[in-house]
Amino acid sequence: MTDQSLQFPRFFVTAPAPCPYLPGREERKVFTELVGADADDLSEALGRVGFRRSQTVAYRPACENCNACVSVRVIASEYVPSSSMRRVLKRNADVIVSEVESIATMEQYHLLKRYLGTRHADGGMADMDFDEYAEMVEHSPVTTRLFEYRLKTADGDAPKGELIATCLTDILSDGLSMVYSFYDIALPERGLGNYVILNHTELAQQREMRYVYLGYWIEQSEKMRYKTRFQPMERLGPGGWVRMQSGTVAQPTGAKKTGRSTNANGMRRLAVSNKQFSTLPSESIPPVPRGGRK
């Protein structure tokens, strides 16, 4: 990239499409491609102003008359598990966590299909085949890793243990961004969704990182409520990141809209040709700051 293109990347906006959460409503997204040697810096800079990554694009909601989607991040450096979260950790004491290369496997894919079939059977990823899963996992222009969660075997051999959860995670200079996670829905007593976030918080602490980015949160959405269990937490508002008070934010203006973070619906729709969308004026998006990764 040239200096100019790094500061002002080319943005696009999607045409209005049916909201996957609320019938009768429409959603739009603004996005840009992440390419070249500066992809890490660009992705991180955009993440700090509310963008999320999906394969080779960074996007954020741009719905008219609605600002219900709120970016949130756990302050991992200050996080102390509650009594209920300590019980989740105890129930998963027999789990071994491995950080592996972002390479798709059939074992991961079969776990994903079982997860989608139960949790997101009507979502945009429900019919994903293995090649599409591999593209989601392996086509990342930024520093990305997979975390596998396996049950201990009798001899403690992690690679041979049963795979019960997986998380695709971007590695940032100030934290971990959970792009997408899935787990064995046949083990509800383990609270694996919470456990994967707890583990990422521990990993961030071990690496002396301050944050774990959880994507978008919607105050009115029951599905999003679990995110506010991980206090202290910050939300992104008009003036920047601020600490949340009692796990709530002010009532958003405009139409209500449930949000998304690492959830299954609609991710594949973002990996499309730019020719389908109109270019946004550069001034519509804040300039992207430059600077090396620390």
- pLDDT, tens digit (0-9, with 9 covering 90-100), for 47-96: 999 999 988 899 998 888 777 788 999 999 999 999 999 999 999 999 99
Per-residue confidence (pLDDT) for residue 193, from 0 to 100:
94
Residue 149 has a pLDDT of: 97
- The string of pLDDT tens digits covering residues 44-60 is 999 999 999 988 899 99
- Output the pLDDT for position 66: 78
Q: Which two tokens stand for residue 24?
A: 């009768």
Measuring CA to CA, which residue among 159, 160, 170, 183 is closest to residue 137? 170
* Per-residue model confidence (pLDDT) at position 25: 72
Write out residues in the chain with pLDDT < 70, as ranges. Answer: 1-8, 20-23, 119-124, 126, 156-159, 246-294
For residue 262, what pLDDT is reported?
Answer: 33
pLDDT at residue 263, as a whole number: 32
pLDDT for the residue numbered 238? 87
- The total of other beta-carbon atoms located within 10 Å of residue 14's CB is 18
pLDDT at 124: 61
8 A C-beta contact, residue 151 and residue 94: yes
